[in-house]
Amino acid sequence: MSGDEKGASKGNKEPDRRGSEILHDPRFNKGTAFTDAERDALQIRGLLPPRVFTQKEQQTRVLENFRRKSSDLEKHIFMVALQDRNERLYYRTVIDNLAEMLPIIYTPTVGEACRLFGHIFRRPRGFYVSSADRGRVRQVLQNWPEKEVSIVVVTDGERILGLGDLGAHGMGIPIGKLALYTACAGVQPSLCLPVTLDVGTNNELLLADPLYTGLPQHRLRGPDYDSLVDEFLMAVHETFPGVLVQFEDFATENALRLLHRYRDRICTFNDDIQGTAAVVLAGLLSAGRITGRSLKDQKILFYGAGAAASGIASLIVSAMQSEGLSEEQSRGNCWFVDSKGLIVKSRADLAEHKKPYAHDYPFIADLLGSVQALRPTALIGVSAQQDSFTQAVLQAMSEINGQPIIFALSNPTSKSECTAQQAYAATDGRCVFAAGSPFDPVAYKGRTYVPGQANNSYIFPGLGLGVIAAGARNVTDSMIDAAARTLAATVTEESLARGLTYPPLASIREVSLDIAVAVARAAWQRGLATRPQPEDVMAYVRSLMYEPDYPSYA
């Protein structure tokens, strides 16, 4: 199948509607930008104000209204409404204003939108598979209006960001992720399918909420849960052959188990595990360029030991091995502190995914004691515990290292292990800092520090585009590693001099293009591609990228 047949469409096909119908179809609606000729051809003359506006002029109106909103949640609702009525104007506005828009359409604001999903619900978007659909998932899936899908993002809502079990209200996550696939990497919107598996919720507040949109029942567990997930995945691949499935915000046990079960059977990856790992590895590689310390010489202490931490450590171990260390030496550079203390061999309460990083070392009950004893060069927070990087912890890191690496990665902002201000102040401005959510620049002792953001949107959109470009059968560790190293390579010396470990968000489409090319090449090199490799890979991948400028319909 050629790229033009699947994945390469620019979305410029002629509308099959006329009159008021086209004004209510977000794929084709241009609102006041329809030209005089189009208004005649499409039978909409008189249905719009007579003046014809350009898309740029429409965007001015959008931004004026957007910036007038009194809260980030209201801004989020406003942008969702725009997406529902004029898809191209929505993406044009987001792409042209990425730094301003990403915190609104995704983290951290999407967390609040999910928490209140049933209360702000206006129009359905995405696809729901509930436990009541067992035995007929494929039949139900036929109701999705698009016949071609390249990427599915699916959640069961059990671990939404750092907010926990939000059940069916987690739908905001796959919707937001797929909006970023389009905005950041140009994946055609019609090829994106957001899915929520509604298997209930154990959140008693939601179960008591009369406006909760999901099934008001406790979570499905065990074989019944597994059979529904399996039926869904098989139905998706039968309906949309070759589709990439991205697991999103599953609880640790299911996230690790499902990834292990399916990663070699279908084209799939888990963004919380592998996407987070790639963006953190890229940040560490960039930080090493600032501090002058190679990756293999880093000693990394993780605060939090869930699926994300496990995935990060696994990729770091692999990367350290590529720099000449043994697996044992690489694991010896990765240490974990969970809610009960340092993870060591003497503990009898360790889950399976923690055991590979349980070292033969005396138990230490707290994070500060662990920092003082282990003397790590990098501290990575994936705990969803606000303010857990205390002033004492940050000062200890500063006393041990000339330029300590501090990554406070938990989302949303309310769950961050520390703020940028706290990190720079406690380390006298010497730390290399990045966070999972955006922080404003920090003025400290006459200097302005611009915090980096370890945002997965640097990785997964380009990864998905690369998978589509090559028609990859699986997503492998080599592809994840290629994505991470490509991201790190895009950070300029100028950015490093300012303490930044990631490129500017404004460049994310070009970054995603570079990552997609690297991922596609990895698929072709390892014989995992189902499409022939073109002579000019960069030009080919670029040709797949959706541009939201208005086409002519006259």
- Domain ranges in the chain? 54-266, 274-457
**In the Cβ-directed half-sphere of 316, how many Cα atoms lie within 13 Å?**
35
In 3D space, the residue among 72, 106, 152 whose CA is nearest the CA of residue 453 turns out to be 106
In 3D space, the residue among 179, 109, 194 whose CA is nearest the CA of residue 146 turns out to be 194
Tokens linked to 406: 């501090």
Query: d(Cα 189, Cα 477) in Å, to the nearest integer?
Result: 27
In 3D space, the residue among 87, 63, 257 whose CA is nearest the CA of residue 183 turns out to be 87
Please tell me the predicted confidence (pLDDT) of residue 12: 53
Tokens linked to 483: 């994505």
In 3D space, the residue among 372, 371, 380, 374 whose CA is nearest the CA of residue 359 turns out to be 374
Tokens linked to 108: 């951290």
**Active site residue: 90, 91, 106, 181, which one?**
106
Tell me the fold of 54-266: Rossmann fold (3.40.50)
| Helix ranges restricted to H, 375-476 | 391-400, 420-426, 460-470
The answer, as to whether pTM is greater than 0.85, is yes
* Structural contact between residues 188 and 182, judged by C-beta atoms closer than 8 angstroms: yes
DSSP designation for 248: -
Please tell me the predicted confidence (pLDDT) of residue 7: 42
Please tell me the predicted confidence (pLDDT) of residue 3: 40
The helix/strand/coil state of 431 is coil
DSSP designation for 45: T
pLDDT tens over the chain, length 554 residues: 334 444 444 455 678 778 999 999 999 999 999 999 999 999 999 999 999 999 999 999 999 999 999 999 999 999 999 999 999 999 999 999 999 999 999 988 999 999 999 999 999 999 999 999 999 999 999 999 999 999 999 999 999 988 999 999 999 999 999 999 999 999 999 999 999 999 999 999 999 999 999 999 999 999 999 999 999 999 999 999 999 999 999 999 999 999 999 999 999 999 999 999 999 999 999 999 999 999 999 999 999 999 999 999 999 999 999 999 999 999 999 999 999 999 999 999 999 999 999 999 999 999 999 999 999 999 999 999 999 999 999 999 999 999 999 999 998 888 999 999 999 999 999 999 999 988 999 999 999 999 999 999 999 999 999 999 999 999 999 999 999 999 999 999 999 988 899 999 889 999 999 999 999 999 999 999 999 999 999 999 999 999 999 999 98
**Active site residue: 6, 75, 177, 354, which one?**
177
Please tell me the predicted confidence (pLDDT) of residue 103: 93
* Structural contact between residues 519 and 467, judged by C-beta atoms closer than 8 angstroms: yes
CB atoms within 10 A of CB 440: 10
Query: d(Cα 496, Cα 273) in Å, to the nearest integer?
Result: 26
The helix/strand/coil state of 194 is strand
| Helix ranges restricted to H, 388-536 | 391-400, 420-426, 460-470, 477-489, 493-497, 508-525
Q: How far is CA 148 from CA 129, 462, 546, in A?
A: 19, 20, 15
The helix/strand/coil state of 483 is helix
Length of the chain (residues): 554
Please tell me the predicted confidence (pLDDT) of residue 411: 86
Phi, psi of 547 (to 5 degrees): -115, 130
What are 338's strand-pairing partners?
341
Query: d(Cα 405, Cα 377) in Å, to the nearest integer?
Result: 6
Any catalytic annotation for residue 30? no
Query: d(Cα 491, Cα 285) in Å, to the nearest integer?
Result: 10
Q: To 10 degrees, the CA torsion angle through 366, 372, 374, 378?
A: 90
What are 152's strand-pairing partners?
193, 245
Any catalytic annotation for residue 106? yes
Query: d(Cα 24, Cα 17) in Å, to the nearest integer?
Result: 10
* Structural contact between residues 185 and 146, judged by C-beta atoms closer than 8 angstroms: no
CB atoms within 10 A of CB 10: 16
* Structural contact between residues 425 and 406, judged by C-beta atoms closer than 8 angstroms: no
Please tell me the predicted confidence (pLDDT) of residue 18: 85
In 3D space, the residue among 375, 364, 434, 365 whose CA is nearest the CA of residue 402 turns out to be 375
Residue with tokens 């084709």: 28
Contacts with 62 (C-beta within 8 Å, 6 or more apart), sequence order? 82, 89, 93
Query: d(Cα 229, Cα 235) in Å, to the nearest integer?
Result: 10
The helix/strand/coil state of 448 is strand
Q: In sequence order, what DSSP letters do the residues of 18-35 get, joined into one string?
A: -THHHHT-TTT--GGG--
Tell me the fold of 274-457: Rossmann fold (3.40.50)
**In the Cβ-directed half-sphere of 57, how many Cα atoms lie within 13 Å?**
9
Residue with tokens 């005089």: 36
In 3D space, the residue among 303, 375, 311, 312 whose CA is nearest the CA of residue 339 turns out to be 303
Position 284: which residue type? L
